Amino acid sequence: MKLQELLRGLTYTFENTDGKVLSDREEIESAQETWVSDVVNDSRKLSEGCLFICISGMKSDGHDYAAEAVRKGAAAILISHDVNVMEEAAQTGNHPVLIRVPDTRYAMAFVSAAWYGHPAERMKLIGVTGTKGKTTTTYMIRSILERAGIRTGLIGTIETLYEGHSIPSANTTPESIVLQKTFRDMADCGVQAVVMEVSSQALKLHRTQGFVFDLGIFTNLSPDHIGEGEHKDFDEYLECKSRLFRQCRVGIVNGDDPHCDMILEGSTCEVERYGTGDGSDLAADNISLVHTPGELGVQFDVHGLVEMHAHVPAPGRFSVYNALCAIAVCRHFGVDASDIGRALAGIHVKGRIEMVKVSDSFTLLIDYAHNAMALESLLTTLREYHPHRLVTAFGCGGNRDRNRRFEMGEVSGRLSDLSIITSDNPRFEKPLDIIADILTGIQPTGGAYVEIPDRKEAIAYAIDHGEPGDIIILAGKGHEDYQEICGVKYPMDERVLIAEILQERKTEQ
């Protein structure tokens, strides 16, 4: 592909390998005609004739590999600041075109879209942003659309999912060059719609530039992802989330969230609101809890843009909001209310309030809640079901902010009847050191607790000591199927551990 086709819509200047800006018309036209055989942002994938995009990351700067790109025969190099490649160009005789842009990440999104043939234009795109609920909502939407016969891809925290493919995720929202390749693969497989989680980091780093979402979704907002390597403060976090609504045609937003109006400031899209309050275009009322053997759920009536009754096998008020959002989205695809209702009634999302049947007398569930905010929301919701006891087994990740451990300990001690403190992903820390920090948070609450560092033993303890009417939560791992210890990820799926424990108990009888 010619360079000018990849750079269409971008502001840039061409430079020689000596750093001189090209100004002669013939030189510029010659540069534009440069043929590119591949587009890469990873120095390990450099090849002759490629366009190498220099990305500044947390740990390294792609500009430091520009000289290597010259040695490997790159045809062009995309830069945002000076690189020293004169010596390599002289030695190798390779004089690639240097393309200077204000921001290589922003440019990469447009270059990647062009390289893969603008695949997003072949599908309907749904982007979901917010602090909580993104994963569950995307699975709800995909389930409804698939049931209606619409071939739907999903991209998110757990996996990328489409037409028989399930690819574990490295990031909630992939880097733009990976995202565009995924779009291309999906489109080539006949996918008609894509629903994807759009993280604040993705919006900050321009991963979703280069295309327009048909629908942009806002679930809710609360302080999170603030700190080194993420967002400097809540204002930046909010501003990044708001960018989605300048990149979509229709915005569907949680009108009950207090930050909703701020999220919409500067938006360029049509807006629909869902919620339980006045002014909602799609509203839920007559909300009631469902507690039957093996299920904690919720049911409610829907009015406004869609009229229906909904039953969702997931607990709490946030399940109402997630379902309302999914209903609002699927209305735009012409899905019948009865089909929406049947799909919602069968929703199950791995690691998100996931029920695992172990007993007829108590309920056990797995959830990804791995910080204080998520755990408090979960435990507060489960309290509404008036359990005999609320039992929480959890740990905290190593090599992360220690304050999270104090905070999670405080939340569990305050809201649980029993906390079972165990190991999560200790990484390069000692599990007992992490547990000691959790105890610092839990002990002032006076909440009952036990320490069982081995996670399988902790789960076995929870099951063996379950009492009628208990709700037992295994928090923190969710969909993860590994435990990271000293840089190695060892297989560990809580569902497998539960099955092993039940089989061991059966054998012991």
pLDDT tens figures, 328-375: 999 999 999 999 999 999 998 999 999 999 999 999 999 999 999 899
Q: Is 89 a residue whose pLDDT tops 90?
A: yes
- pLDDT tens-digit profile of 283-323? 999 999 999 877 899 999 999 999 999 999 999 999 999 99
Q: For residues 263 and 217, give the distance between their C-alpha atoms in angstroms, rounded to a whole number.
A: 11
Percent of all residues in the chain with a pLDDT value above 90, rounded to a whole number = 91
pLDDT of residue 293: 78
- pLDDT tens-digit profile of 106-146? 999 999 999 999 999 999 999 999 988 999 999 999 999 99
Closest CA to 196 of 280, 267, 135, 262: 135
Q: For residues 494 and 496, give the distance between their C-alpha atoms in angstroms, rounded to a whole number.
A: 5
Region 411-426 average pLDDT: 98
- pLDDT tens-digit profile of 429-479? 999 999 999 999 999 999 999 999 999 999 999 999 999 999 999 999 999
- pLDDT tens-digit profile of 242-279? 999 999 999 999 999 999 999 999 999 999 999 998 88
Q: Which residues contact 434 (CB under 8 A, 6 or more apart)?
A: 395, 396, 397, 398, 405, 423, 424, 426
pLDDT of residue 230: 66
Q: For residues 10 and 260, give the distance between their C-alpha atoms in angstroms, rounded to a whole number.
A: 32
Q: For residues 430 and 451, give the distance between their C-alpha atoms in angstroms, rounded to a whole number.
A: 14
- Pair of tokens at residue 299: 């049911």
pLDDT of residue 261: 96
Extents of the domains making up the chain: 3-114, 117-345, 354-508
- Per DSSP bridges, beta strands 363-367 and 354-355 are antiparallel
- Pair of tokens at residue 160: 């990328």
Q: Is 186 a residue whose pLDDT tops 70?
A: yes
Closest CA to 203 of 116, 120, 154, 263: 263
pLDDT of residue 237: 86
Q: Is 161 a residue whose pLDDT tops 60?
A: yes
Q: Residue 127: beta bridge partners?
A: 196, 216
- Pair of tokens at residue 149: 């016969």
Q: For residues 173 and 231, give the distance between their C-alpha atoms in angstroms, rounded to a whole number.
A: 16
pLDDT of residue 290: 94
Q: Is 231 a residue whose pLDDT tops 80?
A: no
Region 78-100 average pLDDT: 96
Q: pLDDT confidence of 180, banded at 50, 70, 90?
A: very high
Q: Is 58 a residue whose pLDDT tops 80?
A: no
Its pTM surpasses 0.85 = yes
- Pair of tokens at residue 387: 């359990």
The CATH number of the structural domain formed by 354-508 is 3.90.190.20
pLDDT of residue 394: 98
* CA–centroid distance for 364 within its chain: 25
Domain 3-114 has CATH 3.40.1390.10: yes
Pick the CATH number of 117-345 from 1.20.58.1610, 3.40.1190.10, 2.60.40.10, 3.30.429.10: 3.40.1190.10
Name the helix (H) or strand (E) containing 270.
Answer: strand 270-275
Q: Chain-wide mean pLDDT for the chain?
A: 95
pLDDT of residue 468: 95
Burial class (CB in 10 A: 0-12, 13-18, 19+), 1: middle
pLDDT of residue 462: 98
pLDDT of residue 470: 96
